[in-house]
Structure 1
């Protein structure tokens, strides 16, 4: 498991519990991806992403297709669990 995967899981759970729909949920995913990337940039890469990622900033900021699908899966799961009778 990677940090970005866990970030997508937690963001999906938060979006589902809060009942976010449509673009609001995807905005949360974008915000969590950016926050995670900046944390990796400052904490792990020490300001030099090119040293650790072949694509530099591009590799650091890309959410990855599997992480986007994970976010959507967890989002719909928690949304259905919490808001099934609303």
Structure 2
């Protein structure tokens, strides 16, 4: 009953959810490419490069959450990491790690390109 009342007071607008998801996907793609450039210039190889990508992608998600998503005051019944107000399907796993697989191809592409340019 409380969730229904919340939706009546502050409804979820489909266009806003789509915009937020698109913005997050763009952030993941850009972050993956920039991390690929950094990993290539640093000369990282194998698991060190992938660990670099995973750790800094999660750091980018945390920074995005802290700077853009985290409300100044949490509504009643919401936890600190709850992103269901801004993203479809409750956010959660999709918000924090959804861009890891989507940005992996861009990361590997720029990683190998810049590694080859620096080491050549």
User: For residue 54 of structure 1, what is the aligned residue in structure 2?
Assistant: 88
Q: Conserved in 2, the CA contact under 8 Å of 1:13 and 1:74? A: yes
* Structure 2 unmatched ranges of 5 or more: 1-24, 71-79
Q: Aligned pair 1:14/2:38, yes or no?
A: yes
Q: Deviations over 1:45-81 (max 9, x none)?
A: 1154111122422111222533110000000000000
| Number of residue pairs aligned between Structure 1 and Structure 2 | 84
Q: Conserved in 2, the CA contact under 8 Å of 1:8 and 1:71? A: yes
TM-score (norm 2): 0.64
* Structure 1 unmatched ranges of 5 or more: none
User: For residue 69 of structure 1, what is the aligned residue in structure 2?
Assistant: 105
For residues 102 and 58 of structure 2, the distance between their equivalents in structure 1, rounded to whole angstroms, comes to: 16
For residues 67 and 77 of structure 1, the distance between their equivalents in structure 2, rounded to whole angstroms, comes to: 16
